[in-house]
Amino acid sequence: MRRFLVSLVANAIALWLTTLIVAGVKIDPLGDGGTFATIVTYLIVALVFGIVNGLIGTIIRVVAFPLYILTLGIISLFVNALLLWLVAVVTGWFGFGLTLESFWWTVLGALVLAILNAIIGAILRPLAGNRNR
């Protein structure tokens, strides 16, 4: 449970930093847009991103495995962009969440998000506890 919460917070922080760095990636907060509503929105979007990445992302990566080999992994940028776009669509159904301006902003946002997630995940990994318990 602790690992899940640390991962969720790491995703939310990475999303927040991505919205600060990439101009075409924005978050529309819940309700009045106060600080609490914004934090909850980032956590919800991070949760949706984790679910989409875990379910749909795994299927896409398995099916596209030959393309990963042929393109030496470059296709992962576009797979991550697709997953980010799916998160924007799913959260958009509820009237809040992730908004993306264009395809190339989505690709850049996916790249920045992946880099930030790796860095933040490495920093917060000790908080998640031992995996071998």
- With cut-offs at 50, 70 and 90, classify the pLDDT of residue 90: very high
Task: Give the count of domains, the chain.
Answer: 1
Q: In this predicted structure, what is the pLDDT of residue 132? A: 54
Is residue 17, in this structure, part of any structural domain at all?
Answer: yes
Is residue 47, in this structure, part of any structural domain at all?
Answer: yes
Is residue 78, in this structure, part of any structural domain at all?
Answer: yes
Query: Other C-beta atoms within 10 Å of 36: how many?
Result: 11
Is residue 54, in this structure, part of any structural domain at all?
Answer: yes
Give tens-digit pLDDT for 103-118.
999 999 999 999 999 9
Q: How far is it, in rounded angstroms, from Cα 83 to Cα 110?
A: 8
| pLDDT average, residue stretch 59-82 | 91
Angle at 3 between CA 16 and CA 87, to 5 degrees: 40
Is residue 133, in this structure, part of any structural domain at all?
Answer: no
Give tens-digit pLDDT for 23-65.
999 999 888 878 898 999 999 999 999 999 999 999 998 999 9
Query: Which residues form the domain of 124?
Result: 2-128
pTM given for the model: 0.87
Is residue 72, in this structure, part of any structural domain at all?
Answer: yes
Q: How far is it, in rounded angstroms, from Cα 19 to Cα 13?
A: 10
